[in-house]
């Protein structure tokens, strides 16, 4: 609110966003709303998305090539799936203007750093980044100007990232309403493996398991999903390509965290088999506290049931009759 209400902070002359899905289109919206750049251009590999972008009018120019989009840009944001960052960098690298800052928004930083850095010329800067924000919807219509508000945006500078570029990108992150965090790529990938990648993996997994049962029909799973299952389907509805790329590119950290998860699950299975109520009660009491801490930290709503039945009622397919 502060940045919107006051004088706009024009940090860049031209921001180019490559990839206009949920994240890219949200970024275009907030850049426009908050006036942090004089102009914004966008490119997306899909004809349909480019056409839709023109209709939405959330940026000044929709380019027909990535090369055209980045021409003259002093900030270039790669908002494509993790596995596509290297390809895009190879295309745009030679066309970056001197002094341009390049960043990305991928959920894996080690592989993106390795894939992109070789294509960035010496007179430009590359600072990998990752906003911890998202939703289960994809595409340019799903974007929202407030998607990053009050959310962490992690930058993982490389040894080759110039300090002034890191500093300027940090100010950009704050100007669009996000909270800045700096860490190294390796630690980022470990933190995200447990806070995001494993949760998505087990959500995808249980939804798949439930759909394949013979003893319980899929329609029963759907019908009685309010018992807990439906919570998992939200993140299991995330973009398949983006998530395929995350798992292929953060393999080591994901496999390590998955080992921990499976070890603990084996312990729980044993407690159930042996009827060890004390062990179960102890774990279930500990985990309750963590949600309270997340709510206190401002990263979750305090309303019960995520506030589902209050404000979200308008989006409800079946209202109480």
Considering only residues 122 through 181, tell me which ones interact with its own copies, judged by CB under 8 A: 132-137, 142, 146, 149-152, 154, 177, 181
The reply on whether position 316 binds its own copies by CB under 8 A is yes
CB nearer to its own copies: pick between 2 and 7: 2
Q: For residue 165, how many C-alpha atoms fall within 13 Å in the half-sphere facing its CB? A: 25
Non-local (6+) Cβ contacts of 202 within 8 A are 232, 261
Q: How far is the CB of 147 from its own copies (least distance, A)?
A: 9
Residues 256-315 close enough to bind its own copies by CB under 8 A: 257-258, 260-262, 264-265, 268-269, 272-273, 275, 277, 280-281, 283-288, 290-315
Query: Are the C-beta atoms of residues 25 and 164 closer than 8 Å to each other?
Result: no
The reply on whether position 5 binds its own copies by CB under 8 A is no
Query: Are the C-beta atoms of residues 24 and 148 closer than 8 Å to each other?
Result: no
Q: Which is it for the CA torsion 211, 107, 50, 116, positive or negative?
A: negative
Angle between the N-to-C axes of helices 198-211 and 251-274, in degrees from 0 to 180, rounded to the nearest 10: 60
The reply on whether position 52 binds its own copies by CB under 8 A is no
Q: What is the DSSP string of 9-30?
A: ---EEEEEEE--SHHHHHHHHH
CB nearer to its own copies: pick between 159 and 320: 320
Task: Return the residue of 48, 90, 182, 248 that touches its own copies, per CB under 8 A.
Answer: 248
The reply on whether position 201 binds its own copies by CB under 8 A is yes
CB nearer to its own copies: pick between 172 and 204: 204
Query: Are the C-beta atoms of residues 93 and 115 closer than 8 Å to each other?
Result: no
The reply on whether position 231 binds its own copies by CB under 8 A is yes
- Here's the x/- map for its own copies, 85-124, by CB under 8 A: it reads as ----------------------x-----------------
The reply on whether position 7 binds its own copies by CB under 8 A is no
Query: Are the C-beta atoms of residues 154 and 11 closer than 8 Å to each other?
Result: no
């Amino acid at each position: 609110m502060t940045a919107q209400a006051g004088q706009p902070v024009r940090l860049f002359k031209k921001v180019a966003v490559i990839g206009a899905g949920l994240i890219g289109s949200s970024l275009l919206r907030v850049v426009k709303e908050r006036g942090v750049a004089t102009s914004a251009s966008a490119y997306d590999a899909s004809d349909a998305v480019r056409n839709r972008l023109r209709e939405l009018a959330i940026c000044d120019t929709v380019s027909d090539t990535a090369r055209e989009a980045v021409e003259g840009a002093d900030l270039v944001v790669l908002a494509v799936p993790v596995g596509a960052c290297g390809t895009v960098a190879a295309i745009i690298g030679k066309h970056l203007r001197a002094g341009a800052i390049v960043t990305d928004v991928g959920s894996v930083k080690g592989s993106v750093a390795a894939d992109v850095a070789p294509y960035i010329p010496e007179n430009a800067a590359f600072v990998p980044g990752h906003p911890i924000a998202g939703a289960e919807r994809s595409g340019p219509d799903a974007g929202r100007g407030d998607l990053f508000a009050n959310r962490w945006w992690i930058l993982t500078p490389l040894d080759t990232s110039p300090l002034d570029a890191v500093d300027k990108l940090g100010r950009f992150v704050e100007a669009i309403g996000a909270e800045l965090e700096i860490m190294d790529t390796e630690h980022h990938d470990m933190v995200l493996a447990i806070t995001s990648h494993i949760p998505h993996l087990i959500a995808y997994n249980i939804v798949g398991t439930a759909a394949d049962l013979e003893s319980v029909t899929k329609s029963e799973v759907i019908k009685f999903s309010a018992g807990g299952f439906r919570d998992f389907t939200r993140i299991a509805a995330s973009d398949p390509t983006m998530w395929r790329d995350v798992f292929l590119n953060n393999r080591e950290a994901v496999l390590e965290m998955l080992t921990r998860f499976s070890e603990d699950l084996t312990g729980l299975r044993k407690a159930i088999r042996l009827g060890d109520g004390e062990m179960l009660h102890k774990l279930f009491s500990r985990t309750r506290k963590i949600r309270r801490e997340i709510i206190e930290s401002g990263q979750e709503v305090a309303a019960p049931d995520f506030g589902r039945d209050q404000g979200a009622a308008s989006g409800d397919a079946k209202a109480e009759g």
